[in-house]
């Protein structure tokens, strides 16, 4: 085979695998912003799209999930990382990138709350419960939000403004609903102070959600990058401070 033909085949191969980036690739910062430094999740997002060859830019601000979805639906940003697929979310989604498991946590010094056997049972009705102020975390938590009699007192919180485990420490509540990633980000000595309840809030896979104007061909390239990353889960899902999300769960649920 001639050198000219080999050169042509090589060029064609490069063109076939080249990523055509969207004109803009914008998103919001993720999770706690008490510090001006980028969170490890922000670093993960940046690294993922840099490796793809399409740099990610951050829109100023750190709104709740509802506003993020509104901006995505309006085309004011191109993506939101870490959303579960639900019937209400009509976005384009990538392949699963991990799981976002949400549980009840209590102080180890309060084992009486282990007697909660089901949602809205008589024991749960006596508890003061911290719950995320925004976001959909499954039908069971929606029931808890809608029916005040399911708890003694329901207290909404936002990770962007408070450290919710501090409120548990100070006796402001008996239980708190938190994503596993937030619990995992605590120092080991603090994690030792809490116990997770057996009653599950939600367990399920999460994805990168894209706005309608993002080309399907680009999302296909993102999926190929996810497949490549999942071949080395230790790198794709960094350990330590729970930089993104635990590896995928086999349980599918919306949150």
pLDDT digits (tens, 9 = 90+) for 93-142: 999 988 778 999 999 999 999 999 999 999 999 999 999 887 777 788 88
CATH superfamily of the 102-202 domain: Periplasmic binding protein-like II (3.40.190.10)
CA 213 and chain centroid, separation: 22
- Domain borders along the chain are 20-99+205-236, 102-202
Average pLDDT over residues 70-80: 97
Are 165 and 108 a contacting pair, CB within 8 Å? no
> Is residue 163 very low, low, confident or very high in pLDDT (cuts 50, 70, 90)?
confident
CATH number for the segment(s) 20-99+205-236: 3.40.190.10
> Whose structure tokens read 């085309």?
75
pTM of the model: 0.68
> Is residue 30 very low, low, confident or very high in pLDDT (cuts 50, 70, 90)?
confident
Beta partners for residue 155, in sequence order:
130
The span from the CA of 142 to the CA of 137, in Å, is 7
Equal fold, 20-99+205-236 vs 102-202: yes
What is the bridge-based pairing of β-strands 175-179 and 128-132?
A: parallel
């Amino acid at each position: 085979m001639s050198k000219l033909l080999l050169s042509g085949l090589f060029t064609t191969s490069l063109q076939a695998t080249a990523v055509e980036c969207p004109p803009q690739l914008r998103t919001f910062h993720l999770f706690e912003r008490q510090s001006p430094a980028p969170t490890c999740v922000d670093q993960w997002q940046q690294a993922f799209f840099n490796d793809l060859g399409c740099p990610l830019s951050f829109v100023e601000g750190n709104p709740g999930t509802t506003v993020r979805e509104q901006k995505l639906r309006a085309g004011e940003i191109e993506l939101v990382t870490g959303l579960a697929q639900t019937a209400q979310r009509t976005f384009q989604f990538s392949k699963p990138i991990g799981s976002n498991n949400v549980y009840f946590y209590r102080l180890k010094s309060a084992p009486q709350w282990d007697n909660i056997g089901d949602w809205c049972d008589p024991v749960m009705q006596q508890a003061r419960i911290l719950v995320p102020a925004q976001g959909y975390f499954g039908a069971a938590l929606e029931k808890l939000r809608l029916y005040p009699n399911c708890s003694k007192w329901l207290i909404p919180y936002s990770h962007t403004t408070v450290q919710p485990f501090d409120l548990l420490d100070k006796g402001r509540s008996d239980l708190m609903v938190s994503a596993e990633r937030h619990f995992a980000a605590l120092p080991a000595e603090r994690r030792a102070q809490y116990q997770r309840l057996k009653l599950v809030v939600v367990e399920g896979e999460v994805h990168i959600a894209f706005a309608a104007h993002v080309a399907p061909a680009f999302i296909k390239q993102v999926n190929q990058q996810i497949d490549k990353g999942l071949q080395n889960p230790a790198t794709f899902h960094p350990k330590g401070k729970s930089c993104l999300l635990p590896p995928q769960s086999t349980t599918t649920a919306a949150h």
